[in-house]
Structure formats: C-alpha cells, structure tokens
Structure 1
C-alpha cells in the first residue's frame, strides 16, 4: 500500500481529507506530511500528478562493527611539567614476598621503577615478568606489606565492584582514589572474553590497579577505557563510564606461567564501602616510572 491522499466532496465544497501510508517508508511528519496533503489536494483539484513525499532516513544508533572505536589503554599519568620524563600507574600485591601485578604498558619503557606503599619510603621495583599480549607485568619489591589480593575467578554480570588507584597523580590526592560501580558486561570490546566491562570511573594512572568485588576479592586488573572522543566522532554520542579490566582468570594464568603462587582464599562477606576502601588501599601501590 503506497502513501496516498483522498479528498471528499459533496458538490458544494470539500468535506474533509483522509490519507493512508506504507508503514515501511518511515514516519509521516513535517515535510512528508505537508507534501502528502498538498500534493493530494493539488492532484484532486487539477488532475495533475500525485507527488511522493521525501524519503526518510533513520539514524543508526550502533557503530558498524568495522568502524567501532577500539578501547584506549589508560596511559600512565604524567607528572609535573618539570618532570616530564616521569609517569605513574597503579599495582597491587599478590604474594607476601612482595610480588606486584600491574599493566605491561605502565612499566614497558621504564629505566627505573619506584614503588610507593602507604607511608613507606619508595622502594625499587624489579620487573621479573611481562606479557605484552595481555598487558600484564609482575614486579618484585622489598616493601613491607599488610595485605595481598585474594583472587576470585568467575565474576558475574551485575556484580558490584570497586576500583582503587592513583589516577592523575599530579592533580588528585596522592593518597589514592576509590570508586564504585558494577560489572556491566562479561566481555570487552569486540567480545574480547579476556576482559570485563565496568561502570566504575577510571582515569589516567588507574592502569594496573585492582578491581575488587564487594567482599574485597580480586576479580580483575584495570586496563583501559573507551575513547570517548572517537565514539563521539563515529556516532555523535558521548559514552559514559565504559571502562575495562583484565579478568582475574587471565591474571592467574599469567602468574602460574611464571611459577608465582597466589592467594585464592576468596570470602563472601560483603564489606562496608569505607572498609572496602581501606582494604583496597592496603594492597595497592603507586608505581612511578622513569
């Protein structure tokens, strides 16, 4: 059924107007409605041709797979301008011997690595293993520690989570930053099953930090965020809190491949947010790369 108009007369004048339309051709409003009515009246009065309304083009909300923006690794946060050769990131303890997990991109170009934990003086971080493909690295330090991460494998969609790290260290508090959110997808960009998507806000410098569940168990390692500007350019829409973490199962495999034992004493007792923040801070470190 094509769009068409029908005018009704009784011999003395027009009584009314009705029209029908093809539902497959898009909504009838604005210029389409005006054209439909006026062309029908014109055709009825003059015997002229009926004029089709202009076509409607529906905006595509999703980004075509071939043009989807890739996630952007959260770059290590630069220090002050006079220290432009320094950058910072985050890590967390996985053994009582001082092993620390972070991202490969946090330490890949470092000539020296300094690690800070609480009020202790900076300690040297020695790179003992790296996995560029999965963006993971493990350091060794002589720092004293009070907590290590308990790795939990098998996070669920919708689980509440927490992120601790040292983002934008040249601007924000040097004591660290704690944010809350949820697991919003069990895969990353292009269905990358190594990753989790999370809603907790992260910034430059959060890279390598722990992703914890409500009980303080480690379920991932922060890795990247969606490049908002590229998404805006591709879709016209600004994404909000679309960030990614490496699953704890990938972290566990990475540590096993290097013969490093890790804790798996996951608990199920939910912590109050303030207690969860204290726990996260105790097992996290700031990493300064030069």
Structure 2
C-alpha cells in the first residue's frame, strides 16, 4: 500500500506541467481571496445567542393495577389494596429541568435589532445576546416566522456595529462566500466556501428558495450571516444536510431579501401575512412541454385553481402555465410560492400565463394565505377503455363536490397497455385529455382516438386528492 501511494505521488510530480511559465504559477495564489478584511469588517456585528427554556418530563404512571385485580369495584381496590384507578393512566408530573441551546445572529440596526433563525429561539424562556466585546443583553422577541425560519430580536442598546445588507439575486453560482458563527458554541468561527446552487427547495420549506453552499456549517452556526466578497450579508445560515450530525458539504441559507421582507412585517405588525394565489402547480417536464407545443420546459403548470381563490376569480384555469409573476420569471414550479409569498396581500399582481399556445396577462389581487383541504374518492359501475386498456367508472356527484371538480372518470383496474406505461394507477381520476372534458367513459376513447399516433397530449389526473398533468403519448 505504501509502495502504491509512493508511486502515485511520484507520478503526480511527473505529471506537473513543467512547461508552464513561472509567472503563471506565481500568480495562482494571488487569485485566492483574502478574507481578513471581510472578517474585520463584519465580525463585530455578529452575535452569540444563548437561550434557556423549561422542560418538564412526565414520570411513569403511579399505582399500576395488576391484571388479576382489573374490573374490581374502585372503592374495593382503594380500601383493600391502595390502588386508585383514576390515577393509573395519568402520568406523574416529573421534575423540571432547564434546557440550554446556542445559536448565532447579526445586528441589522444601530438601535439593537438582530436577525436570527426561528428555531434558535423557539420556546425560549430567556434569550441572552452576547456581543463581540463580551457585553451581554437580555433580548426581546419582536416576532418570528416558522415558515421562513426567521426571527427578529431587540436589545436595549445604541450605536451598535451593523452588517451591510446585500441582495442574493446578484449572487452567482461559484462565487466565494463567508460564514461567521458559533459552531458547537465556539464563538466567532469563520468558514468559507462557494455558492453551490440557488433556488433550492427543501421539504416543508416551499416559501424559501435556499442558497446552497459548501461552507462548513455546524450546530451553533444557525442564524449567522452568509457574506459575499463585497462584505454584504446575502443570507442567513439555517440548515445542513447531514447523516452524522455535523457538516457534510451541503449547507443552506435563507436569501436575505426573504428575511428582510419578514423583518419589515414583524417590525410593523409583529406578525407575517403571506400572499395566497390559490393554485396547485406542478413541474413542466420535457414530455409535458412537447404535449403543450413548447420549445423547452419552463414555468409552473396549473394542475388546479381552487374554488373561490384569487386565481379562480381572476380566470386562471387548470392547464395554464404560469411564466411570470409580477417581475419574477417562473422557470420552474418551485419559483412560484416564494414569489407569491412575499407579495403584499390586497395588492394587484400581474400573472403572465401560456394558455394553449397563447401568452395572456391576467391581473389578480392576492388574499391572505389560507389552508385548503381536499377529499378522497368513491364511485359506480365500471366499463372498459379500449385505448387505455383500463376499467373505468363514472365519478358520482358527491365525490365531484368533495374534489371540487366538475366531472371525471375513475380508474378501477389497470391492465398492461398505454395506461400502465404512462404511469396511471388504480384510483386515478381522469378529468380531461388534451383539454377535452371527460364527462362520460365514452369520452375517454373518443378523445384519445382523435390524437395522431406518436403525439403527446396532456392528461389531467386527480391522485390522492391532488390534481396533476401527465404527458400521454399515443402509440
């Protein structure tokens, strides 16, 4: 093994481009950024945040009744055996304990406003902020937003050092970035890396297009700033992907403009109101793009516009492809929720859509975000579709009402054929084929037989209460 390593090193030396001019080799180190000025410029505005909260763990239930005594009268059990059935299933109140956690933050105003993550201060009884000069302040929580994982604190101080706020829109993939924080409680630790990707969507975080970096981030870095080479904060370090509990090369930061939108609302009202358009969207795949006669996949395909929503009232329909929302280009479906979420409610918005090959501008007013629920399914007698090779049954009126759809047919059984090869499964409800409504089972084969062989058409499907489009290619 040692011999093999030795050979590798020697070969590596031989492989060096000896013809390379000395000047080029000498210039290479100078292209590496000098982070010292960035650290000196920003470290005083970075703070350590420690929190304490009270936790009470319940003790096991007291006075468990042995099986042989169960069913006896309560008075009998209490008098002769000392068992109280009323307390058997009730856990005892265990001892209280004080839990502590550590995170990071940064000062955004001279009068003491501080940004950090919601999860750093969640459920905290007390929040202590320590500055770089070791002064400590008890912080007031102005407000926080779990959806974006942003929290705003305030300390009673003046003339504090502050960071410069940048704009992550100007950040390019491959650019150098710097993080300052307190990993594992080690104050003012500096790490660096590059931007690996932008606009990352993580599970349960549809309102945050994360900045992905390879900056070393560990527990305790949460809430600290991500800084570009101009010395501006472009993000808040928030999450890592890990299998070990520590850094593995995948770190995620909240874009600073998302955070500052939250800050503005928290300072004004103490809470965050998020815009609601009322559409369920899906990605435009290559197959779907061909079926919609698009040159390339782009935009967010509207699978459903919820009844009574701003989208439905404005005329947005299932099958529309949203290409632009106000000034934001929608390249993929995950671009839409953040663009809608940061738009003020009751403000008119412009939506550029593609509808059957024609671009249309629709104007709408967003409403406050509201949770929508959808139901599940059932139906009546089945018939066969010759083209799809499936058994279908018409969806009844009650189920249509539950699913908020005007018509549809449900797949009861899938055999080997076009349906199975296209990914259709039992329980799928077919609503339209190539925008032709399916009001009866006969409409399915009628619509499919009108499509030339080899052509892809969009098929609208309701699966598990959610509306989607599938590209169906006729054979």
Measured in 2, the distance between the counterparts of 1:201 and 1:217 equals 19
Deviation digits for residues 19-56 of structure 1 (CA, Å, limit 9, x no counterpart): xxxxxxxxxxxxxxxxxxxxxxxxxxxxxxxxxxxxxx
Instruction: Give the total of aligned pairs.
Output: 171
Measured in 2, the distance between the counterparts of 1:239 and 1:107 equals 22
Structure 2 match to 1:103: 117
- TM alignment of 1:3-82, pairs within 5 A: none
Structure 1 match to 2:196: 184
Change over 3 Å in CA distance of 1:216–1:252 after alignment to 2:
same
Deviation, structure 1 residue 257: 1.6
Change over 3 Å in CA distance of 1:142–1:205 after alignment to 2:
same
Deviation, structure 1 residue 84: 6.1
Change over 3 Å in CA distance of 1:164–1:104 after alignment to 2:
same
Q: Which stretches of structure 1, 4 residues or longer, exceed 3 Å deviation after superposition?
A: 76-79, 143-146, 189-193
Measured in 1, the distance between the counterparts of 2:159 and 2:193 equals 27
Structure 1 match to 2:210: 195
Measured in 2, the distance between the counterparts of 1:126 and 1:208 equals 16
Aligned residues of 1:194 and 1:247 also touching (Cα < 8 A):
yes
Deviation, structure 1 residue 91: 0.5
Unmatched 5+ residue regions in structure 1? 1-75, 231-237, 261-290
- TM alignment of 1:152-163, pairs within 5 A: 152-153=166-167, 154=169, 155-163=171-179
Of 221, 224, 231, which aligns to 2:239? 224
Measured in 2, the distance between the counterparts of 1:145 and 1:188 equals 37
Measured in 1, the distance between the counterparts of 2:221 and 2:140 equals 20
Q: Please give the root-mean-square deviation of Cα atoms over the aligned residues, in Å.
A: 2.7
Structure 1 match to 2:262: 254
Aligned residues of 1:78 and 1:84 also touching (Cα < 8 A):
no
Deviation digits for residues 160-207 of structure 1 (CA, Å, limit 9, x no counterpart): 1000001101xx3x4x20001111000224596521001110110000
Measured in 1, the distance between the counterparts of 2:152 and 2:247 equals 32
Task: Indicate the structure whose relative CO is greater, using CA pairs within 8 Å and at least 6 residues apart.
Answer: 1
- TM alignment of 1:94-243, pairs within 5 A: 94-153=108-167, 154=169, 155-169=171-185, 172=186, 174=187, 176-190=188-202, 194-229=209-244, 240-243=248-251
Structure 1 match to 2:33: none
Measured in 1, the distance between the counterparts of 2:141 and 2:126 equals 10
Measured in 1, the distance between the counterparts of 2:51 and 2:262 equals 28
SS of residue matched to 2:165: coil
Deviation digits for residues 147-167 of structure 1 (CA, Å, limit 9, x no counterpart): 212221112211110000011
Higher fraction of strand:
2
Deviation, structure 1 residue 128: 0.4
Aligned residues of 2:165 and 2:234 also touching (Cα < 8 A):
yes
Measured in 2, the distance between the counterparts of 1:224 and 1:188 equals 12
Measured in 1, the distance between the counterparts of 2:124 and 2:145 equals 15
TM-score by length of 2: 0.34
TM-score by length of 1: 0.54
Measured in 1, the distance between the counterparts of 2:267 and 2:51 equals 33
Aligned residues of 2:51 and 2:128 also touching (Cα < 8 A):
no
Change over 3 Å in CA distance of 1:165–1:221 after alignment to 2:
same
